[in-house]
């Protein structure tokens, strides 16, 4: 508590994002809309613009501009610096920054956002507004880089409480070792001791609403950080992408205990996630052609992030006709082709187009099917199946698509 008492209030920690869950798909879609609307020029926002932007972020309101200005557009201005307001704090005229144009035209939106996150500092301009710079005058930290350092030090993850109590309190780079030591000590506390610490912090805040806002900020920050390539939010935890993969590639014991890494014990169920190991095929070691821009779908970016965390070089082929896959990936002398299927909830049957099915048959063990469920949630699920055309029962339909029913693909991933 000594370190926590150094601030004048219990909630004096990083405040870098408004109360909005930022989605990679709507960031890219808004950037694309503004780029199409005015190119590199200035957009004078009209009620019609706000209505169109509201459809992108799924706002149903008689005054969508108010919510967009307070949350969605504000997040793109500060802290991401994807757009800027031309007239001071007024929203009448806005313009995409160079990074905003990069996002609108990128075949890899996560990489663009990763650069934006890595550049971000709290609390200095232009990433924070002048009022917050004055209020947090002792803070000057590269928040994303510091979070990445702490994740690497603290077993690859931090949880919401650790972020609230320690990580967000860091005011300069020199305080990173303190935070790492504090997190280690906190993890040794009993539940009663942790609850007592939380009560003391909560009692120092000016009301229940303020406390609720402060608690929510941690999870919104986790969602913001997970837009890049280095980290994944999993419910109330933030993990390095490599740690997220390691957890899911571990084995779950038959008695329901926590998963553990390494070879499966006798009687255990299969791994939660099988990472791909394609055969050596020299003809795939170069991309078939130069990649083109994808449609910004979260699922392709998420799968690419997972593969990159394991050392794969990835290129996007989404919506490129005639190829039958979404991603090409290479690591050393191995390469693979990945078709991504996704859903906002549970996936049911997945359909392959005739082009995708031909590619799956042609490339055999070099072709993988990546299935992403709950893609926009804080708990996405990923399964990867090698050579689906040979290993899964496929039903040909009259529209010449090839369907793999849920029970069938679950058989190989359970």
What is the torsion angle, in degrees rounded to the nearest 10, for the CA atoms of residue 169, residue 172, residue 175 and residue 179? 30
State the Cα–Cα distance between residues 187 and 181, nearest whole angstrom: 10
302 shares its domain with 199: no
pLDDT at 269: 53
195 shares its domain with 55: yes
Residue 248 lies in a domain: no
Cα torsion 376, 380, 381, 384: sign: positive
Record the pTM.
0.80
First to last CA, the chain: 45
Go through 164-193 and write b for each residue having 16 or more CB atoms within 10 A of its CB, e for each that does not: bbbbbbbbeeebbeebbebbeebeeeeeee
293 shares its domain with 198: no
Q: Are strands 395-396 and 381-386 parallel, antiparallel or unpaired?
A: unpaired
CB 234 within 8 A of CB 244: yes
pLDDT at 17: 87
Residue 359 lies in a domain: yes
225 shares its domain with 294: no
Residue 46 makes CB contacts below 8 A (sequence gap 6+) with none
Residue-wise pLDDT tens for the chain (414 aa)?
566 667 677 778 898 987 788 888 899 999 999 998 888 889 999 999 999 999 988 888 889 999 999 999 999 999 999 999 999 889 999 999 999 999 998 888 999 999 999 999 999 999 998 999 999 999 999 999 999 999 999 999 999 999 999 999 999 999 999 999 999 999 999 999 999 998 888 888 888 888 888 888 899 999 999 999 999 999 999 999 999 998 888 655 444 454 444 444 445 555 678 888 888 888 888 877 655 443 436 889 899 999 999 999 998 887 666 788 999 999 999 999 999 999 888 888 888 988 899 999 999 999 999 999 988 888 889 999 999 999 998 887 765 667 787 777 877 877
Each residue's pLDDT tens digit, 325-374: 999 999 999 999 999 999 888 888 888 988 899 999 999 999 999 999 98
Element (H, E) at 240: strand 237-240
25 shares its domain with 105: yes
Number of domains in the chain: 2
160 shares its domain with 307: no
Residue 283 makes CB contacts below 8 A (sequence gap 6+) with none
Residue 222 lies in a domain: yes
Cα torsion 93, 99, 105, 108: sign: negative
What's the chain's Rg over C-alpha atoms?
Answer: 23
Residue 262 lies in a domain: no
State the Cα–Cα distance between residues 410 and 127, nearest whole angstrom: 45
State the Cα–Cα distance between residues 413 and 85, nearest whole angstrom: 48
Residue 341 lies in a domain: yes
State the Cα–Cα distance between residues 182 and 237, nearest whole angstrom: 17
96 shares its domain with 197: yes
226 shares its domain with 122: yes
Task: Please report the beta strands in 290-333, taking only residues with DSSP state E, as ranges in sequence order.
Answer: 313-316, 327-331
pLDDT at 282: 80
CB 173 within 8 A of CB 142: yes
Length of the chain: 414
Residue 95 lies in a domain: yes
CATH code: domain of residue 294: 3.40.1350.10
182 shares its domain with 76: yes
Residue 93 lies in a domain: yes
Q: Which domain holds residue 149?
A: 4-234
168 shares its domain with 290: no
Residue 277 lies in a domain: no
State the Cα–Cα distance between residues 412 and 106, nearest whole angstrom: 34
CA 133 to chain centre: 27
173 shares its domain with 31: yes
329 shares its domain with 204: no
CA 54 to chain centre: 22
Domain finish residue from 201, 234, 267: 234
pLDDT at 19: 77
């Amino acid at each position: 508590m000594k370190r926590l008492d150094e601030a004048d209030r219990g909630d004096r920690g990083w405040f870098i994002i408004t109360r909005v869950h930022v989605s990679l798909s709507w960031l890219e879609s808004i950037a694309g809309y503004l780029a199409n609307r005015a190119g590199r020029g200035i957009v004078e926002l009209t009620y019609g613009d706000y209505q169109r932007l509201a459809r992108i972020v799924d706002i149903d309101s008689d005054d969508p501009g108010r919510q967009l200005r307070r949350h969605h557009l504000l997040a793109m201005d500060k802290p991401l610096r994807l757009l800027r307001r031309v007239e001071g704090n007024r929203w009448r005229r806005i313009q995409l920054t160079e990074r905003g144009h990069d996002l609108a035209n990128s075949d890899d939106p996560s990489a663009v956002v990763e650069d934006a996150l890595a550049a971000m500092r709290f609390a200095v301009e232009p990433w924070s507004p002048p009022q917050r710079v004055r209020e947090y005058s002792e803070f000057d930290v590269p928040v994303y880089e510091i979070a990445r350092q702490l994740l690497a030090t603290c077993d690859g993850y931090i949880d919401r409480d650790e972020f609230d109590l320690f990580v967000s309190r860091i005011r300069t780079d020199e305080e990173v070792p303190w935070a790492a030591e504090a997190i280690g000590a906190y993890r040794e506390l009993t539940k009663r001791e942790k609850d007592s610490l939380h009560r003391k912090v909560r009692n120092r805040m000016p009301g229940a609403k303020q406390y609720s806002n402060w608690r929510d900020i941690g999870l919104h920050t986790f969602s913001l950080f997970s837009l890049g390539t280095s980290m994944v939010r999993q419910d109330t935890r933030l993990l390095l992408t490599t740690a997220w993969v390691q957890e899911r590639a571990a084995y779950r014991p038959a008695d329901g205990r926590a998963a553990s890494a390494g070879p499966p014990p006798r009687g255990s169920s299969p791994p939660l996630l099988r990472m791909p190991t394609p055969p050596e095929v020299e003809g795939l070691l170069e991309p078939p052609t130069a990649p083109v821009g994808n449609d910004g779908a979260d699922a392709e970016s998420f799968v690419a992030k997972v593969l990159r965390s394991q050392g794969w070089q990835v290129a996007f082929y989404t919506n490129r006709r005639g190829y039958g896959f979404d991603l090409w990936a290479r690591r050393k002398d191995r390469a693979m082709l990945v078709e991504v299927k996704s859903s906002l909830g549970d996936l049911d049957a997945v359909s392959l187009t005739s082009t995708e099915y031909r590619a799956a048959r042609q490339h055999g063990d070099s072709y993988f099917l990546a299935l992403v469920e709950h893609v926009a949630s804080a708990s996405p699920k990923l399964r990867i199946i090698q050579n689906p055309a040979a290993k899964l029962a496929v039903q040909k339909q009259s529209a010449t698509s090839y369907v793999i029913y849920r029970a069938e693909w679950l058989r190989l991933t359970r």
